[in-house]
Amino acid sequence: MRLSAYPSTLLSKELPNLQYTSTADRFDETWEATLSTLLGAGRAAGADFIEFFLERVNYISCLAEDDQITSIAPRLSKGAGVRVFRGKADCYVSTNDLSFSGLKSALEKGLAILGLQLPAPNSYIPEINLEPLRDYAALKKKDNWLSECSSMREMGEVLLSANAQLKLEASHVQSRRALYFRDCQEVLVAASDGTFARDIRLTQSTGYNLLCAEGAHRSSISQRAGDTSDPGFLRLWDYKSAAAEIAQAAGQMLRADYVESGTYPIIMANEFGGVIFHEACGHLLETTQIERNTSPFSEQKGEKIAHESLTAWDEGLSSTAFGTIDMDDEGMPAQRTLLIEKGILKNFLADRAGSWRTGHPRTGSGRRQNYTFAAASRMRNTYIATGDYSVEELFASVDKGVYCKRMGGGSVGATGQFNFSVEEAYLIENGKMTKPLKGATLIGEAKEIMNKISMCSQDLALAAGFCGSISGSIYVTVGQPHIKVDSITVGGR
């Protein structure tokens, strides 16, 4: 610990003159004195709980359009948020200023919002004993990850090669885009319960957007892969397979008919098909929704809320998945949380405040986009578990329905009503895929649809995604095996 002034008994009047020498470009043990002093000051002011979240981000994105790199965009960011609780009320103040005085100002603003102020000049500031720094970045040797990632030059070379491959594979191309981003986030959490933890998260993603046109017919297909553990991820991107896959999908959808609206049985593909569970159920198991009284499942823990064929998990532990975290944004180690077991609701996803307010145990699910957001209960890697059926058996059970091979995004509203768009769909007739369909939207109510997922196959696979909610946009994984939904409203023409 390096500090020039850290008296064992600190008086409030000494706060303005304290000089700390925390490391400028790294969150390490040298931040302990700064943060424990401020946490002590906050407690002395009368706050019940205080948490600091410090963040530094080194982000870059790269875009290739057709045969040239049209954007390389670095972003450097640093900031901190302080959350102050008084009873069940809380406030959150964020700032770009990581100096002692900057953090102190943010704390004072937070205290003032809750009707508190720093103690009188001759009051003692209680010591907050932070735990020895729990440094996941050091434990997992992540400190060099950023320097091991692809250089700007390499990003450009890989994306141009990828786009050239797509040109070879696709026909009727109007535009080709290959994208990559790397988000390296260093975080430090310190709280008045003694939490003191650091991590580095390296999130990378590559993908394609392909637009094909022939006369008045158009199709656009997107594809994305993501990773959280391999600095060499871009170098290993199998863009040849990805290009072949989306070229085929765009070709199929170019002259597809619009789906006829109605109620159908559907089969949803694995991987990103898991967005149905994410939207229709996952969000409603977050304590954020329980607090707002917007979840139909609030009082149903231990009860059957889904078909007995359905088991579902949310976890932060899968080694490479897009929603994997070693600790959440409140410093709690990641966990594996069983949400539903054979149709029975087992657990909710809780952050610290959600746990206090609802009584459900914390699950390491406190997540946020960046320092400008307070953490909230959010999903990580969320998926329906493998079932007993083969994919062939699922298809064989459908006389007339829709196969949703590639899903777009979706959302769920305050009443539990959800919707998803389908990017690539096919008509199923007598158990066989017949013709491609476009323009489909799946609409339903969470409570009803969960009992209609009647068959799960054995080919569980995950896909990278982004989830926007109360604490911003975060990286998540959705997943499932192929599943059958007995009936659902399909919006179309």
Partner 1 sequence: MPNINDLSHHARSCATQLGIHKFDIYGSTVDETSVQVDRGTPKQVKASNRSTVTVRVWNEHQTMGVTTTTDLEPSGVELALKTAYEASFFGVKEHVPDFSPEAAVPIADSGTKTPQANVSELITTLLDAEKELLAAHPAIAGVPYNGLAQRDIDKIYLNSNGAMRTEARSYASIYLYTKTEEDGKKPRSAGAFRISQGLPQLDIDGCLKETAKKTISHLNYEKVKSGKYRVVFSPDAFLSLLGAFSNIFNAQNILDNQSLSTPDSLGQQIASPLLCVCDDALHPDNVVAPTFDGEGTPTRRVELMKNGVLSGFLHSAGTAKRLQQEPTGHAQIGAKVTVGSHFYHVFPGVPAKQEYSLANAEKVILVDELQALHAGVKALQGSFSLPFTGWIVENGKYTSIESATVAGDFLKLLQSIIFVEHESELTAAGVCPKVWIDDLSITGE
443 part of the interface to partner 1, by CB under 8 A: yes
Q: List CB contacts of 288: < 8 A, sequence separation 6 or more.
A: 351, 354, 376, 377, 378, 469, 470
Nearer to partner 1, 86 or 134 (CB): 86
Min separation Cβ 418 and partner 1, Å:
9
Instruction: Tell me the Ramachandran region of residue 292: left when phi exceeds 0, alpha when psi lies from -120 to 50, beta otherwise.
Output: alpha
> Which position among 30, 298, 358, 372 is part of the footprint of partner 1 (CB under 8 A)?
372
268 part of the interface to partner 1, by CB under 8 A: no
Min separation Cβ 216 and partner 1, Å:
9
Distances (CA, A) of 355 to 58, 226, 352: 32, 30, 5
77 part of the interface to partner 1, by CB under 8 A: yes
109 part of the interface to partner 1, by CB under 8 A: yes
Q: List CB contacts of 23: < 8 A, sequence separation 6 or more.
A: 30, 31
| Exposure string over 309-319, b if 16+ CB within 10 A, otherwise e | bbbbbbbbbbe
410 part of the interface to partner 1, by CB under 8 A: yes
Min separation Cβ 490 and partner 1, Å:
8
395 part of the interface to partner 1, by CB under 8 A: no
With CA atoms as reference, report the closest residue to 64 among 164, 214, 190, 142.
Answer: 164
| Exposure string over 178-206, b if 16+ CB within 10 A, otherwise e | bbbbbbbbbbbbbbbeebbbbbbbbbbbb
> Which position among 10, 47, 50, 93 is part of the footprint of partner 1 (CB under 8 A)?
93
Min separation Cβ 291 and partner 1, Å:
7
Min separation Cβ 437 and partner 1, Å:
12
With CA atoms as reference, report the closest residue to 128 among 24, 49, 12, 13.
Answer: 49
Q: Which stretch binds partner 1 (CB under 8 A): 34-42, 192-200, 325-333, 440-448?
A: 440-448
Which amino acid, residue 353?
A
Beta carbons of 92 and 81 less than 8 angstroms apart: yes
23 part of the interface to partner 1, by CB under 8 A: no
Q: Which stretch binds partner 1 (CB under 8 A): 46-54, 136-144, 333-341, 417-425?
A: 417-425
> Which position among 9, 76, 215, 319 is part of the footprint of partner 1 (CB under 8 A)?
76
Nearer to partner 1, 75 or 342 (CB): 75
121 part of the interface to partner 1, by CB under 8 A: no
With CA atoms as reference, report the closest residue to 422 among 487, 475, 491.
Answer: 491
473 part of the interface to partner 1, by CB under 8 A: no
Min separation Cβ 327 and partner 1, Å:
23
CA distance 406 to 403: 9
CA distance 239 to 167: 12
- Quick note: the x/- pattern for partner 1 over 183-212, rule CB under 8 A, is ----------------------------x-
| Strand pairing report for 49-65 and 68-86 | antiparallel
175 part of the interface to partner 1, by CB under 8 A: yes
**The dihedral sign for the CA sequence 471, 472, 473, 474:** negative
Nearer to partner 1, 9 or 293 (CB): 293
Q: Is 451 helix (H, G, I), strand (E, B) or coil?
A: coil
DSSP string, 66-114: TTEEEEEEEEEEEEEEEEEEETTEEEEEEES--SHHHHHHHHHHHHHHT
CB-based burial label for 147 (10 Å; 0-12, 13-18, 19+) = exposed
Count of other CB atoms within 10 angstroms of residue 245? 15
Nearer to partner 1, 322 or 420 (CB): 420
Min separation Cβ 134 and partner 1, Å:
26
166 part of the interface to partner 1, by CB under 8 A: no
Beta carbons of 60 and 182 less than 8 angstroms apart: yes
Q: Which residues pair with 205 in a beta bridge?
A: 181, 226
172 part of the interface to partner 1, by CB under 8 A: no
493 part of the interface to partner 1, by CB under 8 A: yes
DSSP 8-state assignment for residue 406:
E
Q: Which stretch binds partner 1 (CB under 8 A): 104-112, 227-235, 298-306, 328-336?
A: 104-112
141 part of the interface to partner 1, by CB under 8 A: no
400 part of the interface to partner 1, by CB under 8 A: no
DSSP 8-state assignment for residue 269:
-
262 part of the interface to partner 1, by CB under 8 A: yes
Residues in the interface with partner 1 (CB under 8 A) total 69
113 part of the interface to partner 1, by CB under 8 A: yes
146 part of the interface to partner 1, by CB under 8 A: no
Nearer to partner 1, 125 or 422 (CB): 422
- Quick note: the x/- pattern for partner 1 over 273-312, rule CB under 8 A, is ------------------xxxx------------------
Beta carbons of 185 and 66 less than 8 angstroms apart: no
> Which position among 101, 129, 300, 411 is part of the footprint of partner 1 (CB under 8 A)?
411
Question: What are the two backbone dihedrals, phi and then psi, of residue 10, each rounded to the nearest 5 degrees?
Answer: -95, 135
Residues that bind partner 1 (CB under 8 A): 63, 65, 68-79, 88-96, 109-110, 112-114, 152-153, 156, 174-175, 211, 218-220, 258, 261-262, 291-294, 372, 374, 408-411, 413-417, 419-421, 438-441, 443, 445, 489-493
